[in-house]
Structure 1
Amino acid sequence: MDTLTAIQERRSIKKYDTSFTMPEADVEKLMDLALLSPTSFNIQNWRFVLVRDPAQKKKLRAAAWDQAQVEEAQLTMVLCGDVKAWAKEPERYWKNVPEGTRDVLVPMIEQFYSTSGEQVQHDEVMRSCGIAAQTLMLAAKSMGYDSNPMIGFNTEQVAEVIGLPPGHVIAMMLVIGKAAKPAHPRGGQLAKSEVVFTDRFPG
Structure 2
Amino acid sequence: MDTLTAIEERRSVKHYDTSYEMPDEHVQRLLDLALLSPTSFNIQNWRIVLVRDPEFKKKLRAAAWDQAQVEEAQLTFVLCGDVKAWDKSPERYWVNSPAEIQQNLVAMLRNFYETGGEQVQQDEVLRSCGIAAQTLMLAAKSMGYDSNPMIGFDAEQVAEVIKLPADHKIAMMLVIGKAAQPARPRGGQLDKSEVIVIDTF
State whether TM-score is above 0.5: yes
What's the counterpart of residue 23 of structure 1? 23
What's the counterpart of residue 34 of structure 1? 34
Q: Offset of 1:111 from its aligned partner?
A: 1.0
Q: Check whether the contact 1:94–1:106 (CA below 8 A) recurs between aligned residues.
A: no
Aligned to 2:100, the other structure's residue is in SS state helix
What's the counterpart of residue 84 of structure 1? 84
Q: What letter corresponds to residue 193 of structure 2 in structure 1?
A: S
Judge which range, 108-117 or 141-150, deviates more: 108-117
Q: Whole-Å Cα distance in 2 between the matches of residues 85 and 138 of structure 1?
A: 26
Q: Check whether the contact 1:63–1:153 (CA below 8 A) recurs between aligned residues.
A: yes
Deviation string, structure 1 residues 31-80 (Cα, Å, up to 9, x no partner): 10000000000001100111000001000000000000000000001000
What's the counterpart of residue 12 of structure 1? 12
Q: Whole-Å Cα distance in 1 between the matches of residues 12 and 168 of structure 2?
A: 26
Q: Offset of 1:103 from its aligned partner?
A: 2.1
Q: What letter corresponds to residue 92 of structure 2 in structure 1?
A: R
What's the counterpart of residue 63 of structure 1? 63
What's the counterpart of residue 163 of structure 2? 163
Q: Offset of 1:148 from its aligned partner?
A: 0.2
> What is the aligned-residue RMSD (CA, Å)?
0.6
Using structure 2 for the length normalisation, give the TM-score. Answer: 0.99
**1:74 paired to 2:74:** yes
What's the counterpart of residue 196 of structure 1? 196
Q: Whole-Å Cα distance in 1 between the matches of residues 182 and 127 of structure 2?
A: 29
What's the counterpart of residue 143 of structure 2? 143
Q: What letter corresponds to residue 18 of structure 1 in structure 2?
A: T
What's the counterpart of residue 174 of structure 1? 174
What's the counterpart of residue 183 of structure 1? 183
Deviation string, structure 1 residues 117-155 (Cα, Å, up to 9, x no partner): 110110000000000000000000001100000000000
Question: Unpaired runs of 5+ in structure 1?
Answer: none
Aligned to 2:171, the other structure's residue is in SS state strand
Q: Whole-Å Cα distance in 2 between the matches of residues 98 and 26 of structure 1?
A: 35
Identity between Structure 1 and Structure 2 (%): 77
Q: Check whether the contact 1:10–1:137 (CA below 8 A) recurs between aligned residues.
A: yes
Q: Check whether the contact 1:73–1:177 (CA below 8 A) recurs between aligned residues.
A: yes
Q: Whole-Å Cα distance in 1 between the matches of residues 197 and 73 of structure 2?
A: 38
Q: Whole-Å Cα distance in 2 between the matches of residues 103 and 150 of structure 1?
A: 39
Q: Check whether the contact 1:17–1:72 (CA below 8 A) recurs between aligned residues.
A: yes
Q: Could you list the runs of 4 or more consecutive aligned residues of structure 1 that deviate by over 6 angstroms after TM superposition?
A: none
Q: Whole-Å Cα distance in 1 between the matches of residues 107 and 58 of structure 2?
A: 44
Q: Offset of 1:106 from its aligned partner?
A: 1.4
Judge which range, 103-112 or 172-181, deviates more: 103-112
